[in-house]
Amino acid sequence: MSTRGTQPWSFALPAGLLIVAAVVLLAGVPAVAQEQVTPAARTTPLASADPTQLPLVSGSGRPDLYLEMPYDIDNYEPRIEITRGRDHFADLAPDDPRRRELEGLLETVAADVEDLVTGYALVSTEALFAFVVAVRVEGATPGTLLPAYLPILLGGLEDPGTTPARLGDKEVLVVSTVGAEGEPAELYVYDEGDTVWIVQAPRTIAESTLADLPAPLAVDPAG
């Protein structure tokens, strides 16, 4: 597992739960002392990563997911964690329902666990709670991953609803649910093609965060 971020940290998500990270994170995490940073003080991906330890290009030839995670959420530098391949099963017994759910997702999109890379970026302070979750399956045909993943996401939420919308330059699915304290909450789900991105933040912050995510992959008209 790769991590990045210099802020004090008091929350860790078990690797195997990244597939339902949005559900877990909605349950609430403690606020930590993350400080806002100016644009000039932000750490760039290449400067913060050790090139000898980080695959800068994925198996499909695209930039590695680590480099495409948001490095700025409303001027906060988020904590970023990445999980790869079989590390997703590290905390899950073979008969664990969550593992079976994950295996079912991979079977649906004709992929192996080694094709799976997930990550999250989290800001948790008194002023702002926001996160971005990414679920990438290398080589997944655009248009197949979101329909396979969406039932997993909705199945863990209370009274979920979905509404297609456009937020800035991205087409998203707005998922409405109920937060940890019974308050209304929204997740913004963006389908990049081989990656599903889930953003939870106030709408204006979600829009600016989505704007920094990669453009959608082209869909092969031949199927």
pLDDT on residue 173: 95
Average pLDDT, integer, range 60-71: 84
Q: State how many domains the chain has.
A: 1
Q: Does 222 fall in a domain?
A: no
Average pLDDT value for the chain: 75
Q: Is residue 29 pLDDT above 70, yes or no?
A: no
pLDDT in tens, 5-19: 322 222 333 333 333
Q: What is the mean pLDDT of residues 182-195?
A: 89
In this prediction, residue 63 has a pLDDT band, given cuts at 50, 70 and 90, of confident
Indicate whether 24 pLDDT > 70. Answer: no
Does residue 216 sit within a domain?
Answer: no
Residue 219 lies in a domain: no
Instruction: Specify the pLDDT at position 223.
Output: 57
Domain residues for 45?
A: 2-211
More reliable by pLDDT, 33 or 217: 217
Does the pTM surpass 0.85? The reply is no
Distance of alpha carbon 171 from alpha carbon 70, whole angstroms: 18
For residue 132, which of 208, 216, 193, 51 has the smallest C-alpha distance?
Answer: 208
pLDDT tens track for 128-184: 888 899 999 998 999 999 999 988 888 877 788 999 999 999 999 999 887 667 778
Whether the pLDDT of residue 222 is over 80: the answer is: no
Q: Does the structure show a pLDDT above 90 at 188?
A: yes
Report whether 185 contacts 176 (CB < 8 A): yes
Quote the pLDDT of residue 85. 84
Q: Is residue 193 part of a domain?
A: yes
Neighbours of 18 (CB within 10 A): 25
Say what the pLDDT of residue 54 is. 53
